[in-house]
Amino acid sequence: MSEPIKTFEQGSCKAAIFANEIKQNGNTSTVRNVTIQKRYMDKDGNWQNTSSFGVNDLPKLVLVAEKAYDYLTWRKEGQKVEK
């Protein structure tokens, strides 16, 4: 998997933005997608990721989603994406 172009974290919740180039009808364009996940430590002490959120995770989830949305919508078209 490619590296995200931008990440936002709040506590254990993280939103990562990925840029993927697609070719369609001879044209190449960039599609940006967002993944949201939570990190937790399992019973063996290993860090894991999940897309399941508890009630106390929801405010953090909303915050990282809003930050990702702001980043994607306020960025000027044609502007180089910062890391």
Q: Rounded to an integer, what distance in angstroms lies between the CA atom of residue 47 and that of residue 4?
A: 19
- Say if residues 49 and 9 touch (Cβ distance below 8 Å): no
Q: What is the pLDDT along the chain (83 residues), one digit of tens a residue?
A: 689 999 999 999 999 999 999 998 999 999 999 999 999 999 999 999 999 999 999 999 999 999 999 999 987 555 555 54
